Amino acid sequence: MASIRDVARLAGVSVSTVSRVLGGSGPVDEETRREIERAMEAINYRPNLLAQGLRSKSGMAIGLIAPETPHETFASFVRYTEKACAKLGYSLVVGNTGGDPDMEATFIDSLLRRQVDGMVFSRVSDRSQVVNVIQKWKTPAVTIDRVVETEVVPAIVLNNYRAGQLAAEHLIGLGHRRFGVVTGPQDIAISRERLKGFTQTLAQHGLSIEGRDVYEGDFKFESGLKAGRAFLGRDITAVWGENDLMAVGLMNAYLRAGVNIPEAVSVVGMDNTNISQMFVPGLTTVSQPFEEMCRRAIEIIVSMKNGTPVEPRRIVLQPDIVVRESTARLEGREAVRRKAR
């Protein structure tokens, strides 16, 4: 097996110079760097990352902590964070907290003791104490998705108020006037912001939503299904599920009850995950830039590790709406009614 000494001998440099190139530490002129890289390629040299980590107290690993990794939204975070890590030479350690604050704190403590180079996390809820744990260890960290206003570590978040606006504007533009909403848990800030964006946009158009037509879900399919069953029989023509899983649950309830989508009721989701395209009819949804969110989180951690100041401390990304077959103009619903008569 090729060694670092073999690389140094072939490149005509010292072992310490090769080490500086591998570790990214200390000055090495560009021509020497290229010569070392050519030597590594010629003899198929692969650095011993474990040994490097022991010497530098860095395991070239970043932790990702998410409430529900099997959930498609967080599966997207895992996929794109791993991609961003691999591009920069890091491995990813994933922790699923299962929505349990105690498990969240335990897993983060475990990562910190393993001396990971940084952490990306989406908190369980607003009550989460993860920031306190991280500050104690002074480890580079970034929060994504579920962020609170008083965040003290760098944060990357979606403009969730705008997400609510987009969903409402789309449905209002189609002529709808009677709405239902299935929210996420109200102890999570993003759920409240999405609902606020939706209801305040309705108000700006002289519209409102009845309290009984706002159903608090938990971002899972089953809560969308239950909400859909609760909405059946009400004069609702359009419903927004604050994520795609709940929106598909809504559609399932309506379709099983013989209510056609979008002829009788329009449904909008949130996230633009794979399921929004797999379901029939295709789900109109508010999209999140998951890949950009994860890429920027990893770039911030690497910058912090290298001592580079991070500005701004809070990055807000913008959503967009993807229109598919689950929404239609209100006239379509009225036509169905007239035909039934």
* Contact present, 167 and 198 (Cβ < 8 Å): yes
* pTM for the whole structure: 0.74
CA distance 150 to 147: 9
Residue 291 — left, alpha, or beta (φ > 0 → left; ψ -120 to 50 → alpha)? alpha
User: Is residue 207 domain-shared with residue 335, that is, in the same domain?
Assistant: yes
- CATH number, domain at 12? 1.10.260.40
User: Is residue 72 domain-shared with residue 122, that is, in the same domain?
Assistant: yes
User: Is residue 303 domain-shared with residue 327, that is, in the same domain?
Assistant: no
pLDDT of residue 246: 96
pLDDT of residue 335: 42
Residues of the chain with pLDDT under 70: 1, 22-26, 46-59, 68-71, 98-99, 113, 123-137, 146-152, 312, 332-341
* Contact present, 220 and 182 (Cβ < 8 Å): no
* Contact present, 117 and 56 (Cβ < 8 Å): no
Measured in residues, the chain has a length of: 341
Of the candidates 152, 92, 145, the one whose C-alpha atom is nearest the C-alpha of residue 123 is: 145
Tokens at 55, concatenated: 């010497």
- Whole domain around residue 22: which residue ranges? 4-47
User: Is residue 180 domain-shared with residue 35, that is, in the same domain?
Assistant: no
Give the amino acid at 216. Answer: E
Omega before 309 cis (within 30°)?
no
User: Is residue 198 domain-shared with residue 335, that is, in the same domain?
Assistant: yes
User: Is residue 154 domain-shared with residue 205, that is, in the same domain?
Assistant: no
User: Is residue 216 domain-shared with residue 336, that is, in the same domain?
Assistant: yes
pLDDT of residue 144: 84
Query: Domains in the chain: how many in total?
Result: 3
